[in-house]
Chains A and B, each alone.
Chain A
Amino acid sequence: MAIGLMVFFIIDNLIQRDFFTNFQFHTYLVSTLILIYIVTVILLQIMKSDIIHEYLRSKSFWISLGLLLFYVPFLPVIITFEFMVVNFEIKNIITLFLIMVMNFCFIYASLWTKHR
């Protein structure tokens, strides 16, 4: 999957993107989708395992939740920003908020969950 993403990145840059001046939108999009897929798989695994009994005390649950809470809402935002002219400050405020939520989940995962 990583090699596939790398190949996609090279091709994307060869065809239409300038690596040094532009945001790597297509690569970001594909990698975000891959990440969401992997996180979903992890969540499904948690659901099928014994961890479900105490999933709120599972590290992997909170890390997966943090990643989902950042990347899923951020996906429509980044798509909109790619095609619309919007003040960059708005993007920063939203990103900051999402990062805070994601990091809260990570802090919760490291402080209040069970150690294996």
Chain B
Amino acid sequence: MDKTQVIYLILFSVSVLLIMVSLVFVLFSVFNKRRMKFIIEKQEAEKQAEIEMAKIRIENQENLLKSISWELHDNIGQLLSVSKMQLSMLPEQPTDLSRKMVNDTLDVLSRVLEDVRSLSKSLNTDSVGFMGLVKATGFEIDRLNRIKFLNAKFNITGKPFPLKNDDEIVLFRILQELISNVIKHAKASEFELHFHYANNGLVITAQDDGIGMDISKEHYGIGLKNIVSRIKFLNGSIDFHNKNEGGVLTSIKYTIKDPDVMNA
């Protein structure tokens, strides 16, 4: 090959290489970009499906609780009322002792009736929607104090405003689950619930003086998993913290998605 031919060879090789490199570069960059988009879309779809699943699960649970509430109110409540009525209609007994026993039973029945009614109210989401989150929570705290298992306190700062009805129900269920966890596992004697209403949402803190908990996510039971999935549904956040002096401090942050709801 003479000099001109060598120059030709170099020229051709360089141009061929250039075309190849640019082709590979363009192809891979376009494919990688599309791949990233695909992954993001897939993640979004999975997140959406998860939220939908949580929604369906919560709806199912609500329906179940509602039917239990109706059952308590319409069936067991009625039966207890009838028993109370029949006991009241008993003829006068000869001895004072028997009369006293009947009166005691009547008292017990009255208390049971009251408890069944309050339980029925707290299970039914309609009543939560009707009363609002603050009143329903106060009702729940009263119930907690009434069973004398622990000393519960409830306080509010900021100006309370109504949240979206569905969100109030979900928040109420989270609080119920938290309270139930405290009763079942914490071995606490004091429980304090605090609502702080801010401009953009609500911060709920709950603390007890119990034995604390294992806050690693791997050891979450069904109750805590339920709480986390409900919080995810609300797009809020939850944080568990073991206090130095014992007990758990739980803080829930709920941010309003649509500020117009506040005025609704």
Contacts and interface: CB of A to CB of B under 8 A. Distances in A.
Interface residues of A, number: 26
A interface, over-half SS: helix
A8 interface: no
B155 interface: no
B76 interface: no
A98 to B, nearest CB: 7
Given A65-B27, A90-B5, A90-B9, A97 B39 contact: no
B interface, over-half SS: helix
Given A52-B38, A53-B38, A47 B31 contact: yes
A101 B30 CA distance: 21
A51 to B, nearest CB: 10
B108 interface: no
B34 interface: yes
A53 B39 contact: yes
Contacts of A73: 15-16, 19-20, 23
B88 interface: no
The 10 nearest A-B residue pairs measured at CB = A73-B19, A73-B16, A87-B5, A90-B9, A47-B34, A52-B38, A52-B35, A73-B20, A86-B8, A52-B34
10 contacts: A52-B34, A53-B35, A55-B35, A65-B24, A68-B23, A90-B5, A90-B12, A94-B12, A98-B16, A101-B20
Interface of A: 43, 46-47, 50, 52-53, 55, 61, 65, 68-69, 72-74, 76-77, 80, 86-87, 89-90, 93-94, 97-98, 101
